[in-house]
Structure 1
Amino acid sequence: MKLQRWVKKYLNTIILISGGLVTIGLLSDYVFHIEMLGLWSMIIASIIGALPITIQAYQSLRNKVISIELLVLIAVIGAFFIQEYHESAIVTFLFLFGAYLERRTIQKTRDSVKSLIAMAPTTALVLDEEGEAEEVEIDFVDEGDRLLIKTGAQVPVDGVVLFGEGFIDEASVTGESFPVKKKIGDNVFAGTILTNGTLQVEAERVGEDTTFGKIIELVEEAQDSKSVMEKFINKFAKYYTPAVIIFALATYLLTRDIRLAITVLVLGCPGALVIGVPVSNVTGIGNGAKNGVLIKGGEVLDRMNQVDTMVFDKTGTLTQGKTAVTTFLSVGKNEQQGRAYLAAIEKESDHPLAQAIVSYLGETQSYVVEQTVTLEGRGIQGMVDQKEVLIGNERLLIEKNITVTSVESRQIDAIKLQGNSIVLVAIEGRLQFIIGVSDVIRPEAKDALTRLRKMGIKRFVMLTGDHKMTAQAVAKELGIDEVHAELLPEDKVREVQKLKDNGHVVAFVGDGINDSPSIALADIGIAMGSGTDVAVETSDIVLMRSSFEELVHAYGLTKATIANMRQNIFIALATVAFLFVGLFAGWIYMASGMFVHEASILVVIFNGLRLVKYKQK
C-alpha cells in the first residue's frame, strides 16, 4: 500500500523520468552511437515505467478484472524476455503518457464544476436585532436570518428581499448575461453577485440546500454517471481484453513467433475505445452546464437523442405566464376621458386582468372613484366623475341591457379567435372599449420550434388546462401539431402515457411545478423554471433561464454528443483493425504500432474536446 501511494504521488515524475531515459537511449543509439548507455537507459526506463502499470494490473486482478494494464504488462515482460528493450521502454512510456493525457483531459472537462465551486460564497453579513452587521462563516447562517448584501458582494443564501433595490448578476445560476433588477419581495439565489445597490435579505435556504449548491451537486453527479453507450463499451472491453490474450496465445502457437504474439498484446489494447466515450459524455454535460442547461447524466443524453415528440405545457412554457393587453379597440366617443375612467377603477383592483390593463393605459388623467361594486363572475360596476362605468364580460352587458352592434359583435369574435380573453367597457350605457387580453406567447418560441423540427423532432403536442379556443389560437401561431385543452394534471399524464404507448419517445417541457407528474412520466422531463426545487428534483434536464434557446441548445447538444461518441468508437475500432492488418502484413512493429495506438487516443480525446465549444448554429 505504501508503494502504491508513493507511485501515485510521484506518477508524473515517473513519467517524466521514463520519457527522459527513452530520449537519452534513442540519442545514444542513433546520434552518439554509445550502445551501452542506450541499452541501460532503455532497461531502466522499462523498469521504472512498468512499476505503475504493474500496480494497476494487480489492483484490477484483485477485483477479478483483466485490464488493459495487464495486457501491456505481459507485453512488456515478453519484450524484456526477448531483450527488445527499446520496445519495452517505448511501450511503457507511451502508455503512461497516454494515461496522463487522459487524466488531464477529464480534469479539463470538469473545469465548469470547479469554477462553480470556487464561486460558492464563504461568508455572510448577518444583521442582529439592533440592525448591526456581523461577518460570519456561511456554515453558521441559519434559515430565517436577516442578511445585509452590499454592492459587489456575493449573495450567500437563497432568500427573499426584505428591503432595498439593486441589480444582480445571475450568470452563475441562470446563465443570464445581463444583471436582473431585484426589489422588495423578489427572490435571490446564492452565488449570484450584487452589482449595484444594497439589499437586506431573509435566508430561506442555506448551504447545500440552495439552488447554487444543488446545481453543483447535479453537475458533479451527471458527469460521473455513465451513458448506455459507455456502459456497453466497458462491458465490451471486459470481454475484449481476455479475447486479445487468447488471440495472442493462438498467434504464438500457430507461428512460434514470440515477438509477433507480444506485439498483438500491445496493439490490441482498447485504450481509445475505453476513453473515447467518457470524454464525449463528460465534455457534453460540461458544455451544457456552462450554457445554462443542466443534464442529469449520460443516460439522459441517450434518451434525449432518441426523442421524436415534444409535449409542451402552455402557460409559463410556450407563453410568458404574464397577462398583457393584445388588442384595444375604442368604439365610442371621448376616448381619452374613457381611458382615464377605466384606469381609475382598475387601479383599485389586484386582479391580473386589471393590472394588465393599467399597465397598457400608462399615464392618464386622475379621477377619484366614487363607488365600486364587484359583480361575481361578470366584472365591476363603478362611478367615476358621476358617470356609471361597467367593466366585464359579455354577460354583464346583457344584464345591463347594453346594445352591441353586429359590427362590434364580429370584432369581439375575431379577437376571441386570436386566443384572447375579452374585457368590455361601457360608459353611461354605451359600449366604449373592446379589449383583448391574453398570456403573451414567448417571442422566441416559434423560431425555436421550427429549428427543433429541422433537427429531428417529428411532432409537437400542447397540453393545457386553458380554454380550447385560446389553446388552438396559440397552437396555430406556433405551428403545433396537436392540442388538448381544458385538462387537469391527471389528464395530462394520461395523454403522455398514450403517446408512449403508441411508440413515441416523449420529452415533456413544463414549469417543473404543476406539471411534475407529466415530467416524471415522460421519457425526458424538461423543466423551464430557473432551477426551482421541484424542477431540479423531478426533471432530467433543467433550463436555468427558462429559455427556448436553451431548449434548442439542449437537443442539439445531445445530438452532437452522441454523434461524437460514435465517431470515437469508429476511430478506435478502425485503428485496431489498421494495426492488426499492418502487423500481419509486416509494415507495423511494436514501437511504431504503439505510437499509432497512443496517437489514436489523442485523436479521440481532441475529438471529444470539440464539444467544449459546441454552439447551436
Structure 2
Amino acid sequence: MKLQRFIKKYLNGIIIASGVLVTIGLLSEYIFHQELVAVSTMIIASIIGAFPIMVQAFQSLKNKVISIELLVSIAVIGAFFIQEYHESAIVTFLFLFGAYLERRTIQKTRDSVKNLIAMAPTTALILDDNGEAEEVEIDFVDEGDRLLVKTGAQVPVDGFVLFGEGFIDEASVTGESFPVKKKLGDKVFAGTILTNGTLQIEAEKVGEDTTFGKIIELVEEAQDSKSVMEKFINKFSKYYTPAVIIFALVTYLFTRDIRLAITVLVLGCPGALVIGVPVSNVTGIGNGAKNGVLIKGGEVLDRMNQVDTMVFDKTGTLTEGKMAVTTFSVVGQEDPLGKAYLAAIEKESDHPLAQAIVSYLGETKSFMVEQSRTVEGRGIQGIVDKKEVLIGNERLLKEKEVAISHSEAKKIDAIKSQGNSIVLVAIEGKLQFIIGVSDVIRPEAKEALARLRKMGIKRFVMLTGDHTVTAQAVAKQLGIDEVHAELLPEDKVREVQKLKDTGHVVAFIGDGINDSPSIALADIGIAMGSGTDVAVETSDIVLMRSSFEELVHAYGLTKATIRNMRQNILIALATVAFLFIGLFAGFIYMASGMFVHEASILIVIFNGLRLVKYNQK
C-alpha cells in the first residue's frame, strides 16, 4: 500500500523523467551519435517507466486479474532480454503518458458533478421571532425554519415563499436559462440564485433531501454505474488478455522470433477497447445532467435506446394539469350582472373548475352570496342579489326544469367533443352561459411527439383516469395511437404489462403518486421533475423542467451515446486488427505500434467527448 501511495504521489514526475530520458536517448543516438549515452539513458528510462506498470500488474495478479499492465511488463522484460532498450523505454513512456491523458480527459467529463457540488449552499440566514437574521451553517437549518434570501445569494433549502418577490436563476436545478419570477406561495429550490429582489422563505426540505442534493447524488451514482456494453467489454477483456499471451507464445513456438512474440504482447493491449465505452457512458450522463435530464445509470442508457413504445399519463404530463376556460358562450339576452353572480358563488368553491372560471372572469362587481348548496354530482345552487343561480351539469338543469333548446344542446355536444368539461349557468330559471373548461395541452407536446416518432418511437399510448370523450379529444390533437380512459392506477399497471408481454420495450411518462406503479413496472420509467417525490424516486429518468423538449433530448441523447459506444468499439477492434496485420506484414514495429495503440486511445476519448456538445435542437 505504501508503495502504491508513493507511485501515485510521484507518478507525474516519473512520466516526465521517463519522457526526458527517452528524448535524450533519441537525440544521443540519431543526432550526436553517442551510442553509450543513448543506451544508458534508455535503460534508466525503461526501469523508471516499467516500475509503476509492474507494480500495477502485480496488484492485479494478487486479485486474480490478468491486466493490460501484465502484457506490457512481460513485453518490457522481453525487450531487455533481447537488448532492445530503446523499444522498452519508448513503450513504457507511451503507455504511462497515454494513461495520464486518459485520466485527465475522463476527469474533465466529471466536472459537471464537481461544479454541482461546489455550487451547493453552505450557509443560510435564519430569521428569529423578532425578524433578526443570523447566518448559520447549512447543517443547522431545520424544516419549518424561516429564512432570508438577499439579492445575489443562493437559496439554501427547498421551500416556499412567505414574503417578497424576486427573480431566481434556476439553471442549476432545471436547466432553465432565464430567471423565473417568484412570489408568495411559489416553490424555490436549494442551489438556485436570487438575481433580483428579497425573499423570506420557509424551509420544506434541507440538506441531501433537497432537489439539488438529490441531483448530485443521482448523477454521481449514474456516472459510476456501468452500461450493459461496458460490463460486456470488461468481461471480454478478462478472456482477451490471456488469449493475447497464448497467441504470443504460439507465435514464438512457430517462428522462434522472440522479438515478434514480445511485440505481439505490446500491440495486443486492448486499451482503446476498455476505455472507449466508459468515456461515452460518463459523458452522455454528464450531458443529460447539464440539460436538465437525470439518467440513473448506464443500464438506463441501454434500455432507453431500445424503447419503441411510449406510454403517457394525461393530466400533468400531456397536459399542464391546470384547468382553464376554453369556451364561454352567452345564451339569449345576457343579464348584465350575470358574470358577477357567477363569480360570487364560484369564489366560495375550491373545485378546479370553479377556480378556472373565477380566473377567467377576473375583476367583477362584488356580491354577497345569500345562500348556496352543493348538489352532489350535479353542481351548486345559490342565491345572489335575491336571484336563484344554478351552476353545474345538464342533470342539474334538467332536475330544476331549466329548458335547453335543440341548438343549445348541439352547441354543448360540440364543446364536449373538443375534450372540454361542461359548466352550465342558469339565472332565474333561464340558461345564461355555456362554459367549456379543459386541462390545457402542453403547447410543445404535439411537435415533440412528431420528432420522437421520426427518431424511432413506433407507438404512443395514453392511459388516463379521465373521461373517454375528453381523452380521445386530447389524443386526436396530439396524434396518439391508442387511448385507454377511465382507468384506476392498477388498470394502468395492467395495460403496461400487456404491452410488455406483446414484445414492446415500454417507457412510461408520468408525474403523480398514482403513476408510480406504472413507472416502476415499465422498462423505462420517466418522471416529470415537477411531480411527486415517489414518482421521481421510482423512475429511471427525471425531466427536471417537466418539458417535452427534455424528453426528446433524453431519447436522442441515449441513442447518440449508444452509437458513440459502438463507434469506439469499432475503432478499438480496427486498430488491433491493423496493428497485427502491419506486424506480420513487416511495416509495424514495437515502438511505432505502441504509438498507434496510444493514438487510438486518444481517438476514442475525443470521440466520446463529442457527446459533451450534443444537443437535440
With structure 2 as the length reference, what TM-score do the two structures score? 0.97
Which residue does 2:317 correspond to in 1?
317
**Distance in 1 (alpha carbons) for counterparts of 2:535 and 2:91:** 50
Code of the aligned partner of 1:526: I
Code of the aligned partner of 2:251: T
Which residue does 2:236 correspond to in 1?
236
Paired residues of 1:512 and 1:529 also in contact (CA < 8 A): no
Task: Say whether residues 1:86 and 2:86 are aligned partners.
Answer: yes
Q: Give secondary structure in 2 for the equivalent of 1:415.
A: helix
**Distance in 1 (alpha carbons) for counterparts of 2:91 and 2:577:** 19
Instruction: Output aligned runs, 1:389-400, within 5 Å.
Output: 389-400=389-400
Which residue does 1:21 correspond to in 2?
21
Code of the aligned partner of 1:44: I
Cα offset for 1:211? 1.5
**Distance in 2 (alpha carbons) for counterparts of 1:429 and 1:483:** 39
**Distance in 2 (alpha carbons) for counterparts of 1:335 and 1:257:** 106
Which residue does 2:479 correspond to in 1?
479
The CA deviation string for residues 176-211 of structure 1, in whole angstroms up to 9 with x for no partner, is: 222223333332221111222222222222211222
Structure 1 gaps of 5+ residues are none
Cα offset for 1:341? 3.0
Q: 1:368 to 1:512 in 2, by over 3 A?
A: closer
Q: Give secondary structure in 2 for the equivalent of 1:514.
A: helix
**Distance in 2 (alpha carbons) for counterparts of 1:93 and 1:314:** 60
Paired residues of 1:512 and 1:539 also in contact (CA < 8 A): no
Instruction: Output aligned runs, 1:262-341, within 5 Å.
Output: 262-334=262-334, 337-341=337-341
Code of the aligned partner of 2:100: Y
Greater CA deviation, 118-127 or 28-37? 28-37
Code of the aligned partner of 1:178: F
Paired residues of 1:245 and 1:265 also in contact (CA < 8 A): yes
Which residue does 1:196 correspond to in 2?
196
Greater CA deviation, 83-92 or 330-339? 330-339
Paired residues of 2:369 and 2:384 also in contact (CA < 8 A): yes
Q: 1:440 to 1:174 in 2, by over 3 A?
A: same
The CA deviation string for residues 412-437 of structure 1, in whole angstroms up to 9 with x for no partner, is: 00111111100111223222211110
Q: 1:3 to 1:505 in 2, by over 3 A?
A: same
Task: Say whether residues 1:117 and 2:117 are aligned partners.
Answer: yes
Paired residues of 2:459 and 2:481 also in contact (CA < 8 A): yes
**Distance in 2 (alpha carbons) for counterparts of 1:331 and 1:103:** 74
**Distance in 2 (alpha carbons) for counterparts of 1:479 and 1:287:** 30
Q: Give secondary structure in 2 for the equivalent of 1:443.
A: coil
Paired residues of 2:511 and 2:530 also in contact (CA < 8 A): no
Code of the aligned partner of 2:612: V
Code of the aligned partner of 1:417: S
**Distance in 2 (alpha carbons) for counterparts of 1:82 and 1:116:** 53
Q: 1:51 to 1:530 in 2, by over 3 A?
A: farther
**Distance in 2 (alpha carbons) for counterparts of 1:530 and 1:524:** 18
Which residue does 1:423 correspond to in 2?
423
Paired residues of 1:347 and 1:358 also in contact (CA < 8 A): yes
Paired residues of 2:528 and 2:546 also in contact (CA < 8 A): yes
The CA deviation string for residues 24-72 of structure 1, in whole angstroms up to 9 with x for no partner, is: 2222222232222222222111111111101110110010000000001
**Distance in 1 (alpha carbons) for counterparts of 2:9 and 2:299:** 34
Which residue does 2:37 correspond to in 1?
37
Q: Give secondary structure in 2 for the equivalent of 1:515.
A: helix
Q: 1:348 to 1:533 in 2, by over 3 A?
A: closer
Code of the aligned partner of 1:522: A
Code of the aligned partner of 2:143: E
Q: Give secondary structure in 2 for the equivalent of 1:588.
A: coil
Cα offset for 1:482? 0.9
**Distance in 2 (alpha carbons) for counterparts of 1:448 and 1:206:** 35
The CA deviation string for residues 323-371 of structure 1, in whole angstroms up to 9 with x for no partner, is: 0011111222236543333233323332211111121222334444444
Which residue does 1:210 correspond to in 2?
210
Task: Say whether residues 1:519 and 2:519 are aligned partners.
Answer: yes
Code of the aligned partner of 2:403: T
Q: Give secondary structure in 1 for the equivalent of 2:178.
A: coil
* Identity across matched positions, percent: 87
Code of the aligned partner of 2:343: A
Which residue does 1:464 correspond to in 2?
464
Code of the aligned partner of 1:404: I
Structure 2 gaps of 5+ residues are none
**Distance in 2 (alpha carbons) for counterparts of 1:462 and 1:182:** 33
Q: Give secondary structure in 2 for the equivalent of 1:10.
A: helix
Q: 1:376 to 1:153 in 2, by over 3 A?
A: same
Code of the aligned partner of 2:436: G
Paired residues of 1:124 and 1:137 also in contact (CA < 8 A): yes
Paired residues of 1:121 and 1:190 also in contact (CA < 8 A): yes
**Distance in 2 (alpha carbons) for counterparts of 1:530 and 1:76:** 58
Instruction: Output aligned runs, 1:337-486, within 5 Å.
Output: 337-486=337-486
Task: Say whether residues 1:167 and 2:186 are aligned partners.
Answer: no
Q: 1:27 to 1:122 in 2, by over 3 A?
A: same
**Distance in 1 (alpha carbons) for counterparts of 2:586 and 2:233:** 30
Cα offset for 1:405? 1.3
The CA deviation string for residues 485-508 of structure 1, in whole angstroms up to 9 with x for no partner, is: 111111111111111111111111
Paired residues of 1:223 and 1:281 also in contact (CA < 8 A): yes
Paired residues of 2:519 and 2:535 also in contact (CA < 8 A): no
The CA deviation string for residues 542-601 of structure 1, in whole angstroms up to 9 with x for no partner, is: 000111100000000000000000000000001000110110011111111111111110
**Distance in 2 (alpha carbons) for counterparts of 1:436 and 1:168:** 35
**Distance in 1 (alpha carbons) for counterparts of 2:532 and 2:374:** 36
Q: 1:379 to 1:536 in 2, by over 3 A?
A: closer
Which residue does 1:155 correspond to in 2?
155
Which residue does 1:135 correspond to in 2?
135
Which residue does 1:576 correspond to in 2?
576
Paired residues of 2:515 and 2:535 also in contact (CA < 8 A): no
Code of the aligned partner of 2:285: I
Instruction: Output aligned runs, 1:69-108, within 5 Å.
Output: 69-108=69-108
Which residue does 2:226 correspond to in 1?
226
Code of the aligned partner of 2:611: L
**Distance in 1 (alpha carbons) for counterparts of 2:593 and 2:530:** 51
Q: Give secondary structure in 2 for the equivalent of 1:530.
A: coil
The CA deviation string for residues 229-282 of structure 1, in whole angstroms up to 9 with x for no partner, is: 000000000000000000001000100001100100000000000000000000
Greater CA deviation, 232-241 or 375-384? 375-384
**Distance in 2 (alpha carbons) for counterparts of 1:479 and 1:288:** 27
Q: CA RMSD in A?
A: 1.5
Which residue does 1:605 correspond to in 2?
605
**Distance in 2 (alpha carbons) for counterparts of 1:55 and 1:530:** 51
Q: Give secondary structure in 1 for the equivalent of 2:447.
A: helix
Cα offset for 1:149? 1.6
**Distance in 2 (alpha carbons) for counterparts of 1:366 and 1:162:** 28
Code of the aligned partner of 1:59: Q
**Distance in 2 (alpha carbons) for counterparts of 1:603 and 1:550:** 29
Cα offset for 1:532? 4.6
Paired residues of 2:510 and 2:535 also in contact (CA < 8 A): no
Cα offset for 1:82? 1.0
Cα offset for 1:159? 2.1
Greater CA deviation, 43-52 or 525-534? 525-534
**Distance in 2 (alpha carbons) for counterparts of 1:268 and 1:501:** 44
**Distance in 2 (alpha carbons) for counterparts of 1:335 and 1:604:** 75
Q: 1:532 to 1:412 in 2, by over 3 A?
A: closer
Q: Give secondary structure in 2 for the equivalent of 1:610.
A: helix
Paired residues of 2:324 and 2:438 also in contact (CA < 8 A): yes
Paired residues of 2:511 and 2:532 also in contact (CA < 8 A): no
Q: 1:388 to 1:531 in 2, by over 3 A?
A: closer
